[in-house]
Amino acid sequence: MEAVERYIRDFISFEMSARRLYGEDFVVGEVMHFVAKGIYAFQLIWGEDNGVFLVKPLDHSLVRGHETPFGIMFSYDGTRNAKYSEDETLVLPIDVIRDIKIDSIDG
């Protein structure tokens, strides 16, 4: 398994565990599909059993986190219209992924 894929799998595993969400293999598969297309931000949609059934790609450049009385909330349109919870928003750290790719090239 390539280093970037391993990092993304570990990142998703940690985030889903912290949020008490299920369907890690499904989420990893969907995210890896989109990462190959250069997409690094997602909305996770889950059902009553906390099983994720949809991974919606987002424009990373428009995702904004805002501190609110309810915790961190996100807007997906680049504005301060924060209405999405931290639990449903998954943003991969592009800088870390970039560094892993550079390190793998350097050998």
Under 8 Å between Cβ of 88 and 45: yes
In this prediction, residue 45 carries a pLDDT of 96
Determine the Cα–Cα distance for residues 104 and 33; give it in Å rounded to an integer. Answer: 20
E strand or H helix at 64? strand 64-68
Tokens 């009553």 map to which residue?
Answer: 48
Q: Which domain holds residue 14?
A: 3-106
In this prediction, residue 1 carries a pLDDT of 53
Which residues of the chain have a pLDDT value below 50?
A: none
In this prediction, residue 9 carries a pLDDT of 95
Q: What is the domain count for the chain?
A: 1
E strand or H helix at 54? strand 52-58
In this prediction, residue 72 carries a pLDDT of 93
